[in-house]
């Protein structure tokens, strides 16, 4: 039985159409074209694949008919019969793209597990279902293509559209993984804020302001190593998460960011392509590595100390 995880069930329940099936009622028959997937909330459903294959009995939390949902207008390969009065969630093909936009990570996870289950089933059935190999391969190709598109959607959901840097959502997902693996304490955090950025927008317009933000992003991208992460947190605030650097190395990187921004600001003023930058820095120690909020709040103090002192400088957490 393929059971949904809690996050998958919660996501599908938001978009699904509730329906009831009475004992003895067929949800669909083998060979019918369908584009609806069902999730069992209560009750039992029997799937009869015909030929010499065993019948399968599904209970609460299980899903069936997923190929029609994922591909659309797919011939059903089993009879689905309600063994008792059952409460179901019905998800049509029309909500697939909505689910992909709502939570691409959960949907991609579900799709990968469905694909894996199909691959395992194919290996078990290949001997007696040779006549269906071509159809199965086409299905797998379609699923892999859909999985690739979902991976792309998930990557876009983690990327800032203007600068191409990782956005706040992507940063939080990255931090969750580091915290789970106990590796956050090996990092340093550089928080970057544009000085007098509002004046650039007010005087020169938002298009010039956007080019300034892109210039800051390019500078951070240039100094970020393969294991580092450059992010736009929102507005004119950026950060750089550095891995495996000691305090002296982190200080040199922060100083380079400030000095380079100052030089570029002097070189390109009409219209401006860069502004000076205020930078707050801290090494993430084990005591605070369990909470991103605590790390951020601490380094934010250093950043605003830099801004209060006129900007265009680096301040370490005291």
Q: Are 312 and 276 in contact (CB under 8 A)?
A: yes
pLDDT digits (tens, 9 = 90+) for 115-145: 777 777 666 655 555 655 666 666 666 667 6
pLDDT digits (tens, 9 = 90+) for 233-280: 989 999 999 998 899 999 999 999 999 999 999 988 888 999 999 999
| CATH of segment(s) 168-316 | 3.30.70.270
pTM (2 d.p.): 0.53
Closest CA to 240 of 308, 193, 192, 304: 192
In whole angstroms, give the CA distance from residue 76 to residue 63: 14
Q: What is the predicted pLDDT for the residue at 9?
A: 86
- In the chain, where are the structural domains located? 6-157, 168-316
Taking each helix axis from N to C end, the angle separating 104-125 and 6-15, rounded to the nearest 10 degrees, works out to 110
Q: Are 19 and 42 in contact (CB under 8 A)?
A: no
pLDDT digits (tens, 9 = 90+) for 48-72: 988 766 788 999 988 888 887 777 7
Domains 6-157 and 168-316 share a fold: no
The band of 152, judged by pLDDT with boundaries at 50, 70 and 90, is: low
Pick the CATH number of 6-157 from 3.20.20.70, 1.10.238.10, 3.40.50.1370, 2.60.120.10: 2.60.120.10
Closest CA to 229 of 281, 164, 174, 163: 174
């Amino acid at each position: 039985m393929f059971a949904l995880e809690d996050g998958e069930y919660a996501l599908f329940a938001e978009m699904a159409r509730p329906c009831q099936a009475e004992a003895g009622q067929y949800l669909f028959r083998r060979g019918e074209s369908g584009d609806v997937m069902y999730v069992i909330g209560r009750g039992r459903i029997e799937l009869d694949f015909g030929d010499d294959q065993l019948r399968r009995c599904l209970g609460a939390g299980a899903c069936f008919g997923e190929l029609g949902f994922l591909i659309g207008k797919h011939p059903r390969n089993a009879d689905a019969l309600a063994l008792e009065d059952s409460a179901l969630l019905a998800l049509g093909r029309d909500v697939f793209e909505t689910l992909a936009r709502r939570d691409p990570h959960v949907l991609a996870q579900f799709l990968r597990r469905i694909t894996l289950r199909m691959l395992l089933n194919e290996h078990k059935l290949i001997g007696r279902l040779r006549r269906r190999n071509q159809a199965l391969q086409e299905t797998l190709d379609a699923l892999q293509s859909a999985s690739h598109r979902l991976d792309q959607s998930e990557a876009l959901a983690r990327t800032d559209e203007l600068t191409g840097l990782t956005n706040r959502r992507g940063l939080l997902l990255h931090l969750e993984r580091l915290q789970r693996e106990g590796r956050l304490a090996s990092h340093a955090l550089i928080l970057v804020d544009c000085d007098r950025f509002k004046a650039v927008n007010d005087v020169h317009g938002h298009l010039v302001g956007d080019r300034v933000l892109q210039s800051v992003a390019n500078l951070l991208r240039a100094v970020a190593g393969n294991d580092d992460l450059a992010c736009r947190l929102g507005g004119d605030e950026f950060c750089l998460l550095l891995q495996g650097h000691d305090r002296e190395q982190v200080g040199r990187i922060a100083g380079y960011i400030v000095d380079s921004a100052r030089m570029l600001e002097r070189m390109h003023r009409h219209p401006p392509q860069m502004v000076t930058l205020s930078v707050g820095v801290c090494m993430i120690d084990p005591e605070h590595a369990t909470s991103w909020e605590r790390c951020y709040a601490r380094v934010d103090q250093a950043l605003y100390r830099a801004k209060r002192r006129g900007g265009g400088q680096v301040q370490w957490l005291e």
